[in-house]
A = this chain, B = another copy of it.
């Protein structure tokens, strides 16, 4: 500020800022969603549109789409927040027991105290027991469990720990394409090398080991690939991996010396009759000590998905297997800088891993609410696939699990040209026009990655059944019109 003149330029500008942050993208909350929010505001202000409501099918946010919270989860967390309610006879006895158990594990018996950085010990013990039940008795050690701020936080912490080197020895991280863009964003932020492996759309988005191998060998020419990320059930694909596929991946990772990261946040969301969820940990241990004593694995879970949909609580856990104890200390140190994950989210996770059992006063209601959510999602998964597959120009694989469909759509060459002229991805052009005309907000496939020359969008199956049906019909009709307009 020479001579008292105002500065010409700011200190923090697009040019001076962290360029890794600048280049990262996160489509799930990208420009199209920002526009959707603007449209919502315009509607509220009485601006006339060709639609009366914006439907945000862009994000796996169940409660936002009207799904009701599971009563028991909220009873226990409310009791933890306001323990005076422990004297209230409107709350069932087992909800009080759970709340007392959690509060006794909190410093000063308050959910407002920091927890240990790794998370409340009792909840980590319960999570270990939950994993053991899930995996048919394979042991789980609470010391290997970290409670996290949603799964995202755990995934980013693990990636942060793994990234090292410069130039050709820079860490390469293998991710599926299409992927959930948290991965590409974190990789950009950490300035690591993103190594893509393509899922096989013609085979229900299955993982193909040959493709994995080819991608790895190619990547080795320019970086040091040492992490393999798997999302199962798949986001955005909705694919559920077979047991055989998981075995093949584990064998591959062991042979090629890769650290495995298994994003298993949709483990409760399996709908197809011929599919089942197999955890990477269970398969690993069933393959015998040759694998289970050496393969390094981190797996992630969350309270945001499943039947809970409690995204706002930002609760989750990760379990690390075969991690060098000295590195685990470093991980604990790293997470301690942020002190701890939110304790209400930890409590929520604590109830999810230790739910009411048969005979408990809340069991019946808890279970029926849980099944209602999951059955409803299964029905909507089927309906989505059915309506899309009846529509010419749209190809949709079965939604075997998770909360999304990721259909491939025809985009005529003329529309591709127009998109190019506007400097937009062609599926961004489609999604933008769809939003402006119908109020339906879905995310372009280009935000998740797709094979060159193919176009997709991701849509959640979360809106209420009747609304989803209307939405699917409007969307397919709009696509027909779009194709016609550009033909």
Contacts and interface: CB of A to CB of B under 8 A. Distances in A.
A309 B112 contact: yes
B112 A312 contact: yes
> Could you say how many copies of this chain the assembly holds?
2
Interface string A16-29: 11110110111001
A229 to B, nearest CB: 14
A64 B65 CA distance: 38
B311 A185 contact: no
Contacts of A14: 324, 326-327, 330
B337 A17 contact: no
Nearest to A109: B63
A294 interface: yes
Contacts of A77: 81-82
Interface stretch (A123-131, A158-166, A362-370, A405-413): A158-166
A318 to B, nearest CB: 14
Contact of A339 (B69, B161, B310, B311): B311
A194 interface: no
Interface residues of A, number: 98
Contact of A69 (B12, B110, B116): B110
A81 B338 CA distance: 25
A312 B340 contact: yes
A221 interface: no
A423 interface: no
Interface stretch (A134-142, A250-258, A472-480): A250-258
A314 interface: yes
Nearest to A60: B114
A338 B153 contact: yes
25 contacts: A1-B257, A6-B290, A6-B294, A10-B322, A12-B161, A12-B324, A12-B327, A14-B324, A14-B330, A17-B164, A21-B160, A24-B333, A62-B113, A63-B110, A74-B81, A78-B78, A78-B81, A88-B90, A110-B312, A112-B310, A115-B312, A160-B189, A189-B334, A313-B342, A314-B341
